[in-house]
Amino acid sequence: MTDMSEHLSLHGKLDLAAVGRLHADLLARIGQDITLDMAHVTHLGGLCMQTMLAAARSTREAGCSFRITHTSDRVLGQLAAMGMTPETLMEGRI
């Protein structure tokens, strides 16, 4: 595992309008340990959740870690409605 670590602080609504930027931000960090700070996320939509899931898989396949921190109760509820938890998302599994 590499000792390079990337901390990405996410903000606001992670919806269709945000998915392109999220994808680019995550793609630029593949091959490094990634920590997503979700403290300031107000909404997590399905496309952004799928983008995070794919990034978690790619990061783990590269031998690196993918972590999610500070998930609000609101976002936890949105994840649950999609059948996910932060743990399943971090593991890159459905």
- Count of structural domains within the chain: 1
**How many other C-beta atoms can be found within 10 angstroms of the C-beta atom of residue 90?**
21
In the prediction, which pLDDT does 2 show?
42
pLDDT in tens, 69-90: 999 999 999 999 999 999 999 9
The residue range of the domain holding 53 is 5-91
């091959």: which residue's tokens? 31
Angle between helices 46-61 and 19-27 (to 10 degrees): 10
In the prediction, which pLDDT does 77 show?
96
Average of per-residue pLDDT across 9-18: 97
pLDDT band at 64 (very low <50, low <70, confident <90, very high): very high
Give this prediction's pTM.
Answer: 0.90
CATH number for the domain spanning 26: value is 3.30.750.24
